[in-house]
Structure formats: structure tokens, C-alpha cells
Chains A and B, each alone.
Chain A
Amino acid sequence: ILNVEQSPQSLHVQEGDSTNFTCSFPSSNFYALHWYRWETAKSPEALFVMTLNGDEKKKGRISATLNTKEGYSYLYIKGSQPEDSATYLCAFHTGTASKLTFGTGTRLQVTL
């Protein structure tokens, strides 16, 4: 059974703060790691697909890094805004199966 964990479970920051969360996954059988942003009542939005050790990807104020040898990925948000409030999900893919195995999610709340 694949175990994908995320920390912290929830986070409350002030507007303008920078923040980061962690996704931990099995380092064996790694193929890809997906990050999603999910706002309540909306579709989970794909942020990044990461495959290579040392990968770093960026989308606006959000960036992510990947360490496949030790089995973790960090998601960073620079200068958080209230519209960044959402649950951030990571999902692991082994490449041999079609499914994504999700982490528990980190719920971010950004207040003024």
C-alpha cells in the first residue's frame, strides 16, 4: 500500500506571508508527482507534474521542488493572497498503474 503524506494538515497565514508545505512519498517505484489546488465547490486544478529528481517548477507565485531519492516534494507560495486559500493536494504515480495515490492535503487559509 502506497503511503503519501502531507504536512501540515492545515495552515493559516496572513496576506503577504510566504509559506511552504511538504508531500512525502515512497522513493521506490517513483514515476511522477502531481500537485493540485482544490477550492471548495470547484474542480481540483492541476498545478504541476514533476518527474525528475531536482526538478523545480514555477507558476506565478507558486513553485515546487522534487527530491525523488529521499521521497519528498515542497510546494512554496510567495506573498500569499486571499485567493490562494484552498486545499493543496499531491498525488503519486508509479507509472505501472493508471491511478493517482493522493496525500491527505494541506488546507491553506490566507487572511487579510
Chain B
Amino acid sequence: EPEVTQTPSHQVTQMGQEVILRCVPISNHLYFYWYRQILGQKVEFLVSFYNNEISEKSEIFDDQFSVERPDGSNFTLKIRSTKLEDSAMYFCASSRTHGGTDTQYFGPGTRLTVL
């Protein structure tokens, strides 16, 4: 069964460093998402992406964040200058359509630890 994959599974970085989190969505999906979960808090939406542009973003997704689909298979989240509060589990998801009745399939997450 097709699945969303994410690399790395765990990333440790120093505050102020740039990190790139990578995702390979399901191949025939057109919509891509990033969510995150800070320990002890709810899973929260960051950004959605369609047709090579951001379709929606949350207040969390400020200028420090960017997303890209550099080729036909990868979807990346870049954090330019990490802060301690960026420590979280970051999930990538994909869906075939935009509609709310379509399932968003999630990857296993990347745990980002900022020291």
C-alpha cells in the first residue's frame, strides 16, 4: 500500500541553524501539507501546498518557514533559523483532492530537537 515517507526520523540542531525536513508524498496525490505537534499539545496545521504554490498557511508559518517541491516526488519544509520553540514532531501529509471528505495520509513524522 502506498505510504508517505519522511526523512530524517530525528534531527537535532543548534538554535539559529537551518534545517530541511523531507517528505515523499503518495505518488498520485496533488495536495501536500505540513503539520506539527509540540510535546503535550495538539497537532497543528502549518501549511498546504498545491500546484507548486502555498494554498493556505497558519499564523505559525512565518517568514522563517518555507516549502518547496523541488522535483516530482519530494516535498520539503525549511526552517531558516531554528528557535528552541521549533522543537516538535513535524508531520507531512498528502491527499488526492482538496475536499474535506478526502483522507489526508500522514507520514511517520520527523522529530526536530533544537538545542
Contacts and interface: CB of A to CB of B under 8 A. Distances in A.
Interface of A: 4, 31-32, 34, 36, 41-44, 46, 49, 51, 89, 91, 93-95, 97-105
Contacts of A91: 43
Contact of B43 (A41, A42, A89): A89
B107 A99 contact: no
A60 B77 CA distance: 36
A49 to B, nearest CB: 6
**Residue among A89, A99, A105 having the largest count of chain B Cβ atoms under 10 Å:** A99
B45 A32 contact: no
A34 B3 contact: no
Contacts of A99: 33, 45, 48, 56, 58
A95 B100 contact: yes
B33 A98 contact: yes
Shortest beta-carbon contacts, A-B, top 9: A93-B100, A99-B45, A32-B100, A102-B43, A98-B48, A31-B100, A44-B106, A46-B103, A95-B100
A7 to B, nearest CB: 14
B56 A97 contact: yes
Given A49-B103, A98-B50, A98-B98, 10 more contacts: A31-B101, A42-B108, A43-B105, A46-B104, A93-B101, A95-B99, A98-B48, A99-B58, A102-B44, A105-B43
A51 to B, nearest CB: 6
Nearest to B106: A44
